[in-house]
Amino acid sequence: MISRGIQEGLRYLFRLWGIRELWDKILQVSGCAGLLLIRSGSVKAGISEWLFYTAAVSFLLIGGYTINAAADFAQDSLSGKSSIEPAPRRSHSLASGIAGVAIGMLLMLKATHEVLPLAVAVGTIFLGVEYSLPPIRFKERGIWGVVIGALTQRPMMFLVWAAALDVWNGYALTLACWLFSGGMAGMLGHQALDRDYDWTGGVRSFVLQKGLRVTSRLAAASGIVMALATLAPFAFMPMGQALLHAGVLAAMLSIRAGKGIRLLRQTRT
């Protein structure tokens, strides 16, 4: 039996790490990596690397998320978004975020020693934390903030795997497009949900600069592109294989759509 103190500590850690916000992103990136591995025909040789890659991506995303959360604590507290005292939680998030990035990079080194995938991973983390951290703070850079957020949370992490496998083909590009369009829809929905908090906290996000109507239309267009990209396997492989790949993408899309619908309902309340 786990003691009550340890249980509370784990719950607090999971809240810092934003597991509820990140699990679907991890699922989509690792799922697309698995599809690319299957398509490459080296499943048996690459399964251990895929497991290390999935663990590495999980910790890298967790690390980037918590570092960004630490950077936003002051404004979140001002706007009322965070009900927890910002000072201790900010230091905890920063420490656990740095630890997450360190663990992720160690796992990435275990999975591959190639320069390109490691360079892409480092670049992804840098751009990801700059979403909230000064001096760049992409969060307040209009559409570029949305694009950077969408790229770093999904497709760039996937491209780490493409670089590790040295697989650069039309199918890999399509999967990256699928992840990017889903990331765009997610980032726009997140900013729409947080628009009142951002206004109170003085954060000039894209939705506050361009309005909810433009944001909603762009999110809908991104969702349509994601749905169309789900059918792309039929252009790259025989019918039987395409059904398997499209089915996996459709299942992950349904999870993304379900989360998007819940966000949309929240923005209208």
**pLDDT, average across residues 149-158:** 91
Q: Using 50, 70 and 90 to split pLDDT, how confident is the model at 81?
A: low
Q: How far is CA 211 from CA 123, 145, 184, 185, in A?
A: 31, 15, 16, 15
**pLDDT, average across residues 221-232:** 92
Res. 83: pLDDT tops 50:
no
Both tokens assigned to 157: 């992490």
Question: Using one digit for the tens of pLDDT, what is the confidence trace for 2-28?
Answer: 566 666 666 766 676 677 778 888 999
Q: Give CA 237 to chain center in angstroms.
A: 28
More confident of the two residues 111 and 109: 109
Q: Using 50, 70 and 90 to split pLDDT, how confident is the model at 264?
A: low
Q: Are 17 and 62 in contact (CB under 8 A)?
A: yes
SS3 labels along 95-128 = HHHHHHHHHHHHHHHHHCCCHHHHHHHHHHHHHH
**Which residue type does 261 have?**
I
- Report the pLDDT value the prediction gives residue 7, as an integer from 0 to 100: 67
- Report the pLDDT value the prediction gives residue 174, as an integer from 0 to 100: 93
Q: How far is CA 199 from CA 80, 106, 130, 139, 231, in A?
A: 11, 39, 20, 13, 39
Q: What is the mean pLDDT of the chain?
A: 82
Question: Using one digit for the tens of pLDDT, what is the confidence trace for 168-206?
Answer: 888 999 999 999 999 998 888 888 887 877 787 777 888
Other C-beta atoms lying within 10 Å of the C-beta of residue 91: 12
Q: Which helix (H) or strand (E) holds 254?
A: helix 239-267
Rounded to an integer, what distance in angstroms lies between the CA atom of residue 221 and that of residue 249? 18
The single residue listed with the structure tokens 């252009």 is: 235
- Report the pLDDT value the prediction gives residue 178, as an integer from 0 to 100: 95
Res. 85: pLDDT tops 50:
no
With a CB cutoff of 8 Å and minimum separation 6, the contacts of 111 are 49, 52, 53, 56, 164
The single residue listed with the structure tokens 């109507």 is: 213
CATH of domain 18-267: 1.10.600
Q: Is 2 helix (H, G, I), strand (E, B) or coil?
A: coil
Backbone Cα Rg of the chain = 19
pTM, full prediction: 0.84
What is the share, in percent, of the chain residues with pLDDT greater than 90?
Answer: 30
Least reliable range by pLDDT among 28-32, 73-77, 121-125? 73-77
Q: Using 50, 70 and 90 to split pLDDT, how confident is the model at 137?
A: confident
Res. 65: pLDDT tops 80:
yes
Rounded to an integer, what distance in angstroms lies between the CA atom of residue 175 and that of residue 149? 17
**pLDDT, average across residues 65-93:** 64
Rounded to an integer, what distance in angstroms lies between the CA atom of residue 107 and that of residue 50? 11
With a CB cutoff of 8 Å and minimum separation 6, the contacts of 47 are 37
